[in-house]
A = this chain, B = another copy of it.
């Protein structure tokens, strides 16, 4: 049997939900890969071009937008970030799942470009708990926490566009459920099989 194509998984969720930890754990599994994004922000100490990011100029980034090279892209503060389409597609073709850690707006762009992508939303157990986690980061001033909570609500309003949701009460359980979703998606009977079988049935009956 030829190697099965990989699947594209988008993991989104408000800041403070533990989405980054879930993604990091999934990437330890055999058969999952991360895609390297492109950005216009300057590399930080120790960051390597092509490993953390592809670091490009704003002109190069815009040329990539115009060429339709991104699955999704967004501006965050003064910098542009984007997911190169060819990188994702070549990994999928080689049989790897690709895990994208992107925000909800990015998730919706991916859905449009690749309807077969699987979108997973990470939810906090409650807004009270999310507030506690954001405050617990220490560095956050109250105004920033309120702003983050407002952003979280705006993201959660779009959960209806997602396929799955994971309430992150416990990080181990959240990771286990994400793994179950990936396994189950790979066990789906391919849509393409159905018309073939129905055609066969018609011909033989």
Contact = CB atoms under 8 A, between A and B. Distances in A.
Q: Tell me the dominant secondary structure on chain A's binding face.
A: helix
B183 A177 contact: yes
A180 B184 contact: yes
Interface in A141-199: 157-166, 176-177, 179-181, 183-185, 187-189, 193-194, 196-198
A190 B164 CA distance: 9
B160 A196 contact: yes
A187 B195 CA distance: 28
Contacts of A187: 164-166, 177, 180-181
A164 B189 contact: yes
A201 B157 contact: yes
Interface residues of A, number: 29
A121 interface: yes
A121 B158 CA distance: 33
B193 A160 contact: yes
A159 B193 CA distance: 9
A184 B151 CA distance: 27
A200 interface: yes
A198 B165 contact: no
Contacts of A157: 197, 200-201
Interface of A: 121, 157-166, 176-177, 179-181, 183-185, 187-189, 193-194, 196-198, 200-201
21 contacts: A121-B189, A157-B197, A157-B201, A159-B189, A159-B197, A160-B189, A160-B193, A160-B197, A160-B198, A162-B189, A163-B188, A164-B187, A165-B187, A165-B189, A177-B183, A177-B187, A180-B181, A180-B184, A181-B184, A181-B187, A184-B185
Q: Top 10 closest A-B pairs, CB basis?
A: A184-B184, A160-B197, A180-B180, A180-B183, A160-B194, A181-B184, A164-B187, A160-B193, A180-B184, A162-B189
